[in-house]
Amino acid sequence: METTRPGLVYFHSSRSGKCRRIEGYIAQVLQHRRNHNTFKYYAVAQEERPDLLEKFGIGLTPTLVVLEQKVIRARLESPRGSKDIERFLAPWLK
């Protein structure tokens, strides 16, 4: 029986330096723990998909959201670094 991977959605602004740094931290956390296949990863730029930010109730970027079976399981607004992201994702990381 195949299990469905949770989705990790990264809401960001392509114009923000902070958002670019956070994207690097996300990659660092997933690669450091060899969990790059744990999530289906989606990056959503607020400039390109403001409709999705509204649908998910995102008022602040950067924001991370974990989805399981189309349900929001966790949300982290304005993460500060890789340790913050790792703590947030800990329930799903191996």
As given in the structure block, the two tokens for residue 18 are: 């902070």
Tens digits of residue pLDDT in 36-78: 688 999 999 999 999 999 999 999 999 999 999 999 999 999 9
Residue 55 phi, psi (nearest 5): -60, -40
The verdict on residue 59 lying in a domain is yes
> Which residue in this structure is represented by tokens 């949300």?
75
In a domain? residue 84: yes
Q: Quick check: 31 pLDDT over 90?
A: no
Domain count, the chain: 1
Residue 4 lies in a domain: no
Quick check: 9 and 76 in contact, CB under 8 A? no
* 94 inside domain: no
CATH of the domain at 19: 3.40.30.10
Domain range for residue 35?
9-89
Residue 1 banded pLDDT, cuts 50, 70, 90: very low
Residue 24: CB atoms within 10 Å = 10
Identity of residue 18: K
Note whether residue 69 is domain-resident.
yes
Using DSSP, state whether 56 is helix, strand or coil.
coil
User: Is there a domain that residue 1 lies in?
Assistant: no
